Amino acid sequence: MAALTQRISPAGTLFLAALAGTLPVMWWVVVPMLSGANWPDHAGHLFTTMLHIAGGIGMLALGSAAIFIGWTKRGFRYHRWAGYGYLTLGSLGAITALILSIKAEHEPKSLYLATGTLSVVWLATAAMALRAARNRRFQSHKEWMIRSYVLSWTFVGCRLATRVDTYPWLGAESTTAAIWINWVVPLFVCEIALRWKEGSAARRF
């Protein structure tokens, strides 16, 4: 086991951790939907929900692959296609999430403002990443893809927020507060990490 751990690079460790992080959501949300157990709860928007799940799964898997390839340069010829797949399926997941947010068929209604805003911000970061790549601004592309992927993973946190009452003292608005915090804070931390070196002490000559 120790030998195996030594062979795994930091990028590989991050990749495996990313995949493992989906397991609770897969068990609580995806499996009941795929089995049909939760279909009655989504009768009015079942098709849109299933498209959202398909897009979300593809977004997380291909996003992990694209970042892993880009970081390690292994199988780099597949990086572009993994990226295009990520953007395509991610857009499907985000657009269907936005549609579900506009329809707002569950309570509390306020949570849909948080999920709808997240969907729009994800689409914006993905568009910026694509624009930078097409203009061969690869450093900018890398940063926008990191932001986009962080937002992709906040979708997982937002799903967990509907299952775990993180702020019970807020009553019915606990879920809404958790969703806002679960996507805004990670994006803010990501931005600090991306810009950290720019604020470091200047070299004196």
pTM across the whole model: 0.82
| In the chain, where the domains are located | 8-195
- pLDDT score for 16: 66
CA distances, 190 to each of 2, 83, 103, 149, 164 (Å): 31, 20, 30, 10, 24
- pLDDT score for 3: 42
- pLDDT score for 136: 93
Yes or no: say if 76 and 69 are a contact pair by the CB < 8 Å rule. Answer: yes
Bond into 186 cis (ω within 30): no
CA distance 94 to 101: 10
CA distances, 109 to each of 47, 66, 68, 103 (Å): 21, 35, 37, 10
- H/E stretch holding 205 reads none
Yes or no: say if 141 and 129 are a contact pair by the CB < 8 Å rule. Answer: yes
- pLDDT score for 63: 85
Cα-to-chain-centroid distance, residue 205: 43
Q: What is the pLDDT of residues 146-199, one digit of tens each?
A: 999 989 888 877 877 877 888 999 988 898 999 999 899 989 988 998 888 888
- pLDDT score for 77: 85
- pLDDT score for 125: 96
- pLDDT score for 7: 53
Q: Extract the residue ranges of the chain whose pLDDT is less than 70.
A: 1-28, 38, 202, 204-205
Yes or no: say if 57 and 30 are a contact pair by the CB < 8 Å rule. Answer: yes
In sequence order, what are the residues at sequence separation of 6 or more whose Cβ sits closer than 8 angstroms to the Cβ of residue 194? 143, 146, 147
What tokens were used for 85? Answer: 């797949």
Q: Return the sign of the alpha-carbon dihedral for residues 83, 88, 92, 94.
A: positive
- pLDDT score for 46: 83
